[in-house]
Structure 1
Amino acid sequence: MPPTLTKAEEAVPSREKMQTVVGIATSGRPEILAELVRQLAHQTVKPDRIIISYAKPDDISAIPQTLRDMASLELVTGYQGASVQRNVILDRLEDEDIILFFDDDFFPHPTYIARMLEAFRDNPNILGATGQVLADGAQGPGLRIEDANRLNAQANTEAVFKIEDAFNTYGCNMVFRCAAIKRLGARFDERLPLYSWYEDIDFSRSLLPHGRVVKVNSAQGVHLGNKTGKGSGIRLGYSQIINCIYLAQKGTYPWSNALKSAGRHLIINSLKSLKPEYYIDRKGRLLGNLIGLGDLFRNRITPERAATLHSKKRAS
């Protein structure tokens, strides 16, 4: 069950003049997705629309008919990949004010949408925002839905209201002003295939010359970091090297950050491949890093090549 709200949280007013749409790009997590959709109905400010972009029928197979019948829920299909699936969602925008992108394994606190709307309403110069992640299973073996419910129930959203400028939005929970997206023609870069490593940095930082990108600490949630649907370690390792350089050349990622990021992942994968975690394909990532370095030395900056590399079955 979703966490119980305090009286103060229940009293957060709905921003009726601001229309919201939740966009979810999903792959390989049908049960988790179904629970997320169910919990979105318990937000203190409910989204006006929920658009789920999926690649295979199995991706949405666990959503019960009662939820499918909701007028606010739309299921759209397209090619697999975080960037292309999110662009499918962008193509479905109508006259909404705010779009909230959630990973299919991110469980927002029931007041998440309300807090974000407050931030966007009170700060017209905010174009993009990310919330506070109470726990991130991506940094470990992953979390369960029960963990997310417990952590959200224990969260103190009343104590944190600070809004601070951010380097970028974090892909598991990103919120954008629709008018800015339309005015600037912002799109997720489809040259970043499949898992689309750093597409969140690229998209959100493309907005920075025109407004603020912030972290809203009162908008909270839990990222399960579920390991299914991630793809092979080789492909991810390749993207860890090539995508950084590609985005630096593109101008959305500073060269200093790009070189540090690529170097850091190469070192970590090299060291940890000697005694890898059971839930990470470190040897696959390292191999992908080395293939990426080979391409980099040949001046072959082609992030889309990740999709063509040999896929391993082990979760990465």
Structure 2
Amino acid sequence: MPLTKDMQVVVGIATSGRPAILAELVRQLTHQTVRPTRIIISYAKPEDIAAIPQTLREMASVEFVTGHMGLPAQRNVILDRLDDEDIVLFFDDDFFPHPTYIARIIEAFHDNPNILGVTGNVLADGAKGPGLSIEEADRLNTNAGTSSVSKVEDAPNTYGCNMAFRCAAVKRLGARFDERLPLYAWYEDIDFSRSLLPHGRIVKAHGAQGVHLGNKTGKGSGLRLGYSQIINCIYLARKGTYPWSHAVKSAGRHLVINALKSLSPEPYIDRKGRLFGNLIGLGDLLKNRITPERAATLHSKKKAS
């Protein structure tokens, strides 16, 4: 169904361990050219939201919810609180959108009634390096061009740090984040968005711009992530939301990268932990034990991204 330009947008943020960054994100959301109707923050511990002052909570129409810890579970709590809004927009707690981000998302949905999901244009992704600061994100957003504002192109899936969906379609199809993908999860965004793909378009809106800090706090161990890099791909391929060709390539690529880089690892990544997790995952594959939730039971002494 087509949506009007005055559609209601609810922003959902699942957060853990980044109180100061979260508070700044909420503050910046109040400066969007089109402000969200509501902001729903799903948190794991009280200290996760302690840095948001009461005045900002009221100004930004923030609603707090809590439940089981883990990204898919926390996002499902947000889905459970949707009312009559038109669009649900998920941000990572360290994604800083350009001031026109929500306006561009609304334009994409309004101009294309067959779109069910939209992901934006990440100007810089600190997840691929040591991470970015809020100041760097502000600079990049300030200097961002607008030449591709109207460009929308089909995408195979959304990127979890910034993704929006039609609430009516999510409710009608009963779409949920898979809670068998535990903790920080891995490819839960692919699974969720591709479950909608048979029913409508998933696109990238180049005009909806922002910066992903890729902050390293609030992440789990490299061991657990390494396990998920192998098992989650195969689990989702069996489930049917991730092509087998992509799953095998993804698992193999991460195994090779972690093996090579563990010889001279980056200071901000637990490469050896990831490699060990990869090997445990391969062992489970040989035993035909495809249990992504096992990642939550693995323990290592060192914590890194």
Q: Which category describes the TM-score, using the shorter chain as reference length?
A: over 0.9
CA distance, structure 1, for counterparts of residue 300 and residue 34 of structure 2:
41
Instruction: Check whether the contact 1:82–1:193 (CA below 8 A) recurs between aligned residues.
Output: yes
Gaps of 5+ in 1: 1-14
Alignment of 1:297 onto 2:281? no
Does the C-alpha gap of structure 1 residues 313 and 64 become closer, same or farther in structure 2, counting only changes over 3 Å?
farther
What are the residue-to-residue correspondences of 1:100-119 with 2, within 5 Å? 100-119=89-108
Give the 3 Å change call, closer, same or farther, for CA 196–205 of structure 1 in structure 2. Answer: same
Matched, 1:238 2:227: yes
Matched, 1:95 2:105: no
Q: State the TM-score, normalizing by the size of structure 2.
A: 0.97
CA contact (8 A) 1:157 1:219 kept: no
Q: Map 1:77-96 to 2 at 5 A.
A: 77-96=66-85
Q: Tell me, what secondary structure is at the counterpart of 1:207?
A: helix
Distance 1:312 1:102, change over 3 A: farther
Whole-angstrom CA distance in 2 between matches of 1:242 and 1:71: 39
Q: 9, 18, 41: which one pairs with 1:29?
A: 18
Matches of residues 7-26 of structure 1 in structure 2 within 5 Å?
A: 17-26=6-15
C-alpha spacing 1:16/1:160, structure 2 compared with 1 (3 Å)? closer
1:36-69 C-alpha deviation (Å, 9 max, x unpaired): 0000000000000000000001111111121123
State the superposition RMSD in angstroms: 1.0
Residue correspondence of structure 1 range 127-276 to structure 2 within 5 A: 127-276=116-265
**Aligned residue in 1 for 2:54:** 65
State the distance in 2 between where 1:39 and 1:88 align: 23
Cα deviation, residue 198, structure 1: 0.2
Residue identity opposite 1:185 in structure 2: G
Per the TM alignment, residue 79 of structure 1 is displaced from its structure 2 partner at its CA by: 1.2
1:119-162, Cα deviation, whole Å (9 max, x unpaired): 10110100001000000000000000000000000001244421
Q: Distance in 2 between matches of 1:25 and 1:181?
A: 18
Residue ranges of structure 2 left out of the alignment (5+ in a row): none
Q: What is the alpha-carbon distance in structure 1 between the residues aligned to residue 28 and residue 99 of structure 2?
A: 8
Structure 1 residue 116 displacement after superposition: 0.5
Decide whether aligned partners of structure 1 residues 68 and 311 sit closer, same or farther in structure 2, where only a CA change above 3 A counts: farther
Equivalent position SS for 2:170: helix
User: Within the alignment, does 1:54 sit opposite 2:62 as a pair?
Assistant: no
Identity %: 81
The 8 Å contact of residues 30 and 60 in structure 2, kept in 1 or not, is answered as no
Deviation at 1:314, TM superposition (A): 2.7
Deviation of 1:292 (Å): 0.3
Q: Deviations over 1:286-308 (max 9, x none)?
A: 00000000000000000000000
